[in-house]
Structure formats: structure tokens, C-alpha cells
Structure 1
């Protein structure tokens, strides 16, 4: 019998240190007991709980900016570029919804009869058209600019619908945009949330 010692840094081990388990034992450990629901209501309850947990995980992933959980319309580098381009700017069209709400409130206020005519005149004949012209021009500009810059940055990607995507995002109130903005106005990244 050979009595030469095996060096400690020998790359070939001398064995795994345990016997190989029998197939039936290994398969038995892999199998988990199945807890089948007792009735249809219990099965429905389990399915709903599982779906609810999956939706919650997807919601948290979307809010964290994990692109795996985004809907198909928001996936891809071109869409991310369009989102970041819009989110890094303050555009007149993002004030469309707050301005519309202000106009509605001004028309509902019970003004004295002589003031009501003046308010309606300034709101309907001046404020509303100026806002609409601003929104249309901003949307056209955003659509054109996003498409142009995205095509220059990603020449091999599809640009289908990217201008409309950017223009629609520019119409939304910043805090209500989804996916949430990843950059602040000016282009700096959004700081991570505490807690």
C-alpha cells in the first residue's frame, strides 16, 4: 500500500466524503407534500391570494423602476430615453390638467352677475385658447425632438410611436407619471427614497 501523503493543494479531491444516496431516497427528498384545497372556495381563495401577492410584487417592482415589471409599451431603451428626456424638462403641457381644473373652478364660483361675464370672457375667450395653443405646440415640439434625438442615439431601434409616447408623457402631471420619473428637471437622477 502506498503511504505517500497527499499534498494539501492537490487539485483532485479524493472523494466527496459521503455515500451516494439511493435514487428513491433522493427523489423522496425532492418531493413536497401537495396540500390540495378541500373545496372549490378554498381553491379560489388560494388562487386569489397568490395573484394578489404577484400583483403586489409587480407593483413594487414598477415603482422601483425595474423594467422587468413594466408593461410592454414602456419597455426598451428608446422608451426609457423618451421618458428621461421629458422628465428632465419643465414643459408647458405638463400644467394642462391643473390649468383645466383652475378654469373649471373659476366657472363654478358664484360670481356677482357683472363680474361673472368678465370672468367667463377672460377664461373662455383668452385663457382656454392660449392654454390649448401652448399644449398643441409643446406636443408637436416634444414629439419631433424626442424622435429626432432617439433616432440619433439608437439608430438600430424601432422608433414606432416614440414621438406620441413622449408627447403623452409631457401632458401628465409629474407626480402622476408612470413609470415614475428617474431624473429630476435639469437631468440629475432622482435620489433614492429613504426607508
Structure 2
């Protein structure tokens, strides 16, 4: 009588992708299911806002560089970085007109500091006369502002024409006279005594 073929051992490991006794399928070779398209897209998404210390530091450095560039450009009188108040060839001419001369208003702030110091001197006469001198000086400063305003408007009218005369240009120039030269913005682009272009 012929021998029947031997049955496979029950403890043999099932091959990949074969059906087991319980009806379940053994895992594929990579040991996990293929992710769906939604899962793949979610894995590829990255936040738009920097979420690392290096990225935040780089963003802060870029912003600081942009601000510094704008500050330097404004100080140099670059039209691209100037506020609306300072833009235009007439405003530039008015600034150069003021910066080319000497004005009493430049000494107004130091004079006020001297008067404040004088108030600490325990002599009523010194305190009184220092205040009187300050008010007299302020009157001269106001007179210089008025004269400068008139001269600037006349010079702008001669250079650009009456039809291109901007409103408020005289006041703009007058207010610049009471700023100390090193504190003016935009910075002076002409030397004292130099005729504005």
C-alpha cells in the first residue's frame, strides 16, 4: 500500500501574504499598512510660522536689518524711506535752505537747560533775570522762524514756480530751525554757507 504524502508541519511559519487559520492575513514585508493619501498630505504639511528657535532668531535678525536699512535711508534723505511729510524736491530744498545757515532756534534747548540750572541757585535775582532773558531770547527765535519761513517760500517760488508752491512749506522750514543740527532728521546734506541746489 502506497504511503500518503506527509502533511506540512503545523508549526511552520506562514508565508507573507498567506491566510492564517483564524482568517487573518499576515502583514506584508514592511510590517505596516500603506498610508492613505490624506495621511501623506498631512505629513507633508509644515506650519507657516517659524516654530524653531533658529527660525525665530533668523526672522528677528531679518527684521532688525530691514529697520536699520530704513533708518539709515531716512537719515540720508533717501526718498524711498522718507515719511510723506518729508518727501518731494521742494521739501528737500527747504531742508537744505535751513541747514545751510545758522539759526537762533538751535540754541533754544541749551538756553532752557541753563535757565533750569539757574533755578537751583538760591538767589532770586538770578532766577528772575534768567527767566526774563529766556523769554526775550524766545521772541528773537520766533522772529528768526518767521523770517526763515518767508525766505524759504520766496526761494521755492523762484526755483519751482508759484504754481508748484506747497502749502505748509514755510512752517516746515521754520520748525527745522529750532532743532539742533545733529538731531535733525533727515540729516543735513549741505554744509553751513553752502548754497542749496
> If the length of structure 2 is used for normalisation, what is the TM-score?
0.67
- Deviations 1:79-121 (CA, angstroms, capped at 9, x unpaired): 0110011001101111111111111111124x3xxxx111012
Q: Deviation above 2 Å: which 4+ runs of structure 1? A: 34-51, 62-67
Residues 78-87 or 60-69, more deviating: 60-69
Structure 1: stretches of 5+ with no match in the other structure: 1-33, 190-195
Structure 2: stretches of 5+ with no match in the other structure: 1-45
Q: Does 1:69 align with 2:77?
A: no
CA distance in 2 between counterparts of 1:97 and 1:73 reads 24
Aligned length: 150
**Residue in structure 1 matched with residue 170 of structure 2 by the alignment:** 163
Q: Does 1:187 align with 2:177?
A: no
- Deviations 1:34-60 (CA, angstroms, capped at 9, x unpaired): 995553877765543332221111112
**Do the aligned partners of 1:37 and 1:43 also contact (CA within 8 Å) in 2?**
no
CA distance in 1 between counterparts of 2:187 and 2:108 reads 19
Q: Root-mean-square deviation (CA), in Å?
A: 2.5
CA distance in 2 between counterparts of 1:38 and 1:137 reads 57
**What's the secondary structure of 1:102's corresponding residue?**
helix
- Greater C-alpha Rg: 2
Alignment of 1:135-174 (within 5 A): 135-155=141-161, 156-174=163-181
